Amino acid sequence: MSELLELMRKRKSSRVPFDAERPVADEDLAEILEAARWSPSAHNMQNFEIVVVDDVRILKQIWSIRRPISETFIQENYEQLSFSEKELRTKKTGLLATMFPPAWRDPDFRLDKADETELASLQRSLPASPVLLVVVYDPSRRAPASEGDFLGIMSLGCVMENMWLAAGARGIAMQIVSSLSSGNEVKAILGIPDDRIIAFSCRLGHVASEPAGYLRVRRDVEDFTHHNRFGA
């Protein structure tokens, strides 16, 4: 149990370039997909499909997609930022503002007033990786009596966590990519049917060089637990 908890504590999103000369071994990928296979799902619906992308030509097409950041994201992201390590340690939630470009830290940012440098920082392109997993689901297959398919969405989260922990256990770096879920470029490239939705994607690989460390915080157990009655 202690090993599992340590794996959970070390789990992180690797937002750095991966080593292009070091592919993900077939046995490692097989273990990650096996972990996805055994993830819990509402009503055992298993409401997901996974497109494994490792063809360099296809990956280059996907990595060339540039997804702009919206004003809404910047404004709502600002609420989660801390502007010093002391503030972040006190809040115990959110991220350090220094992890984002200056334009992303301005709650009053407006596209129509941005200069070229700011606009360029909004055009995100993803670092390459030897493998991309694209997790797809069918919104018409709803978990029974689940408003908004809340239970089905939770199930997709279980798939994500199982794969993430399996990757970490085998020394594989992973980054969840949500920006590829919007738009139709990736669906067109991969031939994903129109009635399917990309839940999330994840980059897999080995980091080219160890990234600089950053402060990671969590609430203490007593901050979010209640005994017998909420607020107690």
pLDDT digit string, tens, across residues 108-159: 877 777 777 766 666 666 788 999 999 999 999 889 999 989 999 999 999 9
Are 155 and 45 a contacting pair, CB within 8 Å? yes
Residue 88 in contact with residue 82, Cβ under 8 Å?
yes
Are 122 and 98 spatial neighbours (Cβ–Cβ below 8 Å)?
Answer: no
Give span(s): CATH 3.40.109.10, the chain: 2-65+127-212
Q: What is the mean pLDDT of the chain?
A: 90
pLDDT tens digits along 156-190: 999 999 999 999 999 999 999 988 888 899 999 99
Higher pLDDT, 82 or 100: 82
- The pLDDT, as a whole number, for residue 157 is 97
Task: Write the class of the CATH domain 2-65+127-212.
Answer: alpha beta
Q: What is the pLDDT of residue 118?
A: 66
Predicted confidence at residue 125, as pLDDT, reads 67
Beta strand pairing status for 173-177 and 131-137? unpaired
pLDDT, tens digit, for every residue of 201-226? 999 999 988 777 788 999 999 999 99
Q: Considering the chain, what percentage of its residues have pLDDT values greater than 70?
A: 95
What is the DSSP annotation of the chain? -HHHHHHHHH-----S-B-TTSPPPHHHHHHHHHHHHT---GGG----EEEEE--HHHHHHHHT--EEPPHHHHHHHHTTEESSHHHHHHH-SSEEGGGS-GGGG-TT--GGG--HHHHHHHEE-PPP-SEEEEEEE-TTSPPTT-GGGHHHHHHHHHHHHHHHHHHHHTT-EEEEE-GGGSSSHHHHHHT--TT-EEEEEEEEE-BSSPPPP-------HHHH--SSSTT-
Q: For residue 33, what pLDDT is reported?
A: 98
Which residues, 6 or more positions from 229, have their beta carbon under 8 angstroms from its beta carbon?
A: none
The label of the residue with tokens 């992308």 reads 53
